[in-house]
Amino acid sequence: MSPTCPPKPSNAGIEGEPIIGRFTFQHIVHIIGWVCFGITAIFCLGLCILHFRQYRAPNEQRNVFRIIIFPVVASLIAVISTYTYSASGYIGPIAQLYEAIALASLFLLYVQYVAPEESTRVAFFRELEYKTKNGSVKPLQHYKLFRTSWTIIFSYVVVYTILIIAQEVTEATGVYCKTSNKPAFAHVWLQAFQLITTIAAVVTVIRFQRRLKDHMVGRNALPKLLSFKLFILITTIQHVNLPTSIHPDHQNRNTDQFGMQFVFSVIGSHATGSKKLTYDDITIGLQSLLVCIEALACQLSFYFFFHAKEFAVNKHEGAKDGVVYSPMKAFLHALNPMDLILGIGRAYGLVRF
């Protein structure tokens, strides 16, 4: 007999009663979310315009563009989730998928910092000496680090894409079962694989940056890493489900186990759904609101650490003959995903470095 997915509380999937005038909790969260998204988008647009007007290092700034729009993508998906709780399980993974692309872009940005010329990149890493703490030199250590890191990062993009597709399929077919952490359902396995692959990719980028930090002096490499990783860390933790007890209503205080987001797991055992604050308000609305606020804070930090001033005239060593793309050409170049496609091909030996 196949296991049955535990049902959600009785007040799941229904609209709560107004808490202020005619506004329900969902309406209030929706309004605040749109405000946060609007401010985030304005700051992102301003930063993008600054980069497109000083697009002197296209291979670097294309990756910067992918990174700085990540908070906007995450915020937009979150605010849409507050509008339609029922669709959040299907649209939420889109932000997680773009997170993988943004992380790969940060790695490519670091590679550009260290070895901007693609034609000589392999030779550079082969010849780069690695000295141990006792002063001895180990040949090819940086080259091995480069190749291993490249394979892990782009395998992460591929594997994570497959996991997200699997999540969407199992969600649609009823096999995912977010309300249970039993191994009989896809939810626990997909979430475990997503967490493991994300941790592996993050650790890989950190190791690459720390090992080659002397080649990234003056580029704010560490602040870029911290600001981006902090946002990923917080949102990843919020998407980790733990089995906690939710009381669907005041009259029925049972001990059924439902998957609450990790950030709410501490208070989960005391959470009580009501007519004004429903189960979906707690598990979807409140979490989405937090993502919108966190995305805004992340975007503000990007304004300082990913600013276009480092690409100003005579300040950027990688500028090719001082050529500046037109804003439209810069925008189209930034949208070109060919470097990511080639990156995946190189990771699996389909394209030569």
pLDDT in tens, 244-259: 444 444 444 433 334 4
**What pLDDT, on a 0 to 100 scale, did the predictor assign at position 241?**
55
This prediction has a pTM of 0.85
**What pLDDT, on a 0 to 100 scale, did the predictor assign at position 172?**
85
A 10 A CB-CB count for 1 gives 3
What b-and-e string marks burial along 287-299, b requiring 16 or more CB atoms within 10 Å of the CB?
A: bbbbbbbbbbbbb
Confidence of residue 28 (pLDDT cuts 50, 70, 90): very high
Residue 316 confidence (pLDDT) above 90 = no
- Residue corresponding to tokens 């995946």: 344
Task: Give per-residue pLDDT as tens, 139-196.
Answer: 788 899 999 999 999 999 999 999 999 988 988 888 888 777 777 788 888 888 988 9
**What pLDDT, on a 0 to 100 scale, did the predictor assign at position 352?**
86
Long-range CB pairs of 266-273 (<8 Å, 24+ gap) are 268/242, 268/244, 269/244, 269/245, 271/246, 271/247, 272/247, 273/9, 273/10, 273/11, 273/12, 273/246, 273/247, 273/248, 273/249
**What pLDDT, on a 0 to 100 scale, did the predictor assign at position 11?**
62
Distance CA(165)–CA(192), nearest Å, equals: 15
Q: How many CA atoms lie within 13 A of 240 on its CB side?
A: 16
In angstroms, the Cα distances linking 317 to 113, 114, 212, 216 are 10, 12, 18, 12
Supply the CATH classification number for the domain 22-243+256-311+323-348. Answer: 1.20.1070
**What pLDDT, on a 0 to 100 scale, did the predictor assign at position 129?**
82
- Looking at residues 76-89, what average pLDDT do you find? 88
Residue 264 confidence (pLDDT) above 60 = no
Residue 265 confidence (pLDDT) above 60 = no
In angstroms, the Cα distances linking 165 to 88, 187, 196, 221 are 15, 13, 17, 32
Identity at 269, one-letter amino acid code? S
- Looking at residues 2-7, what average pLDDT do you find? 71
SS (H, E, C) 101-161: HHHHHHHHHHHHHHCCCHHHHHHHHHHCCEECCCCCEECCHHHHHHHHHHHHHHHHHHHHH
- Looking at residues 74-78, what average pLDDT do you find? 95
